[in-house]
Amino acid sequence: MPLLFKKDGKTIPPELDIPGANSTFEWINGQFWLHSDDPKEKPIGIEIDKILDRHLDFFRKSSVQKELFARAIGIKGAFKPRVVDLTAGLLGDSLLFLAAGCAVTAVERNPLVSFLIESSLKNADHPLLEKFSFQGGEASDFLKSRPENDVIFFDPMFEDANHKSSPKKEMRIFRNLLAGDSDAENVLSLALGAGIKRVVVKRPRLSRELLDLKPVRMEGKSTRYDIYFP
């Protein structure tokens, strides 16, 4: 694959030179970070080892099975499901599942975000990563391969009337870069037909359901999990 070279000698794939994306990467502490659209804000990156250690430290003090996400994806006793995270983003949910003991496959279709993930993985050496795999590309294409896992997890960046007007930095930038998951209903339909027993959709608590079905709902203060058993 041909590469574009930065002044510091690091390489950027040419597909990241997206017109209108206004994306600027910087090499910091062994990996690439994405600059914010606000020069006063710190750049965005994924410090995988630190995040996993922080989660593990929390789970040493509090039971994993008390957590709403754990009940939603089906963690029970010694059973830790194999999870496909169709919307990896900055690996927030994927690393949480990994620290909770699950094997995780993360999928991300946006080349900018995929590049950040791949760069951060090259800079990480946490032992839990033996149970983690990443695949860049469309969730719909991945689902057509009928993955052998226990749970599909889906957290679409889907616009509706109940989104907060002032999202945190990462969500604001990603909405500008990615323009939302307009095909969320189609991806969910494919997930429900992928032959996996449990599909979990993460939503803002007051948002509408993506499909006209009746999922099991688990609600927190701001987040809801819609659980389907195809």
CATH number at residue 102: 3.40.50.150
pLDDT of residue 42: 82
- 217, 226 contact by CB (below 8 A): yes
Q: Identify the domain containing residue 75 by its residue range.
A: 46-228
User: How many residues in total does the chain contain?
Assistant: 230
User: Is residue 131 in some structural domain?
Assistant: yes
User: Is residue 13 in some structural domain?
Assistant: no
pLDDT of residue 146: 80
User: Is residue 146 in some structural domain?
Assistant: yes
Candidate ranges 36-50, 72-86, 165-179; pick with highest mean pLDDT: 72-86
pLDDT of residue 11: 56
User: Is residue 33 in some structural domain?
Assistant: no
Return the axis-axis angle of helices 48-61 and 92-99, rounded to nearest 10°. 50
- Indicate the pairing of strand 11-12 with strand 103-108: unpaired
Total count of domains within the chain: 1
User: Is residue 37 in some structural domain?
Assistant: no
User: Is residue 2 in some structural domain?
Assistant: no
**199-210 per-position pLDDT tens digit:** 999 999 988 888
**71-119 per-position pLDDT tens digit:** 999 999 899 999 999 999 999 999 999 999 999 999 999 888 898 999 9
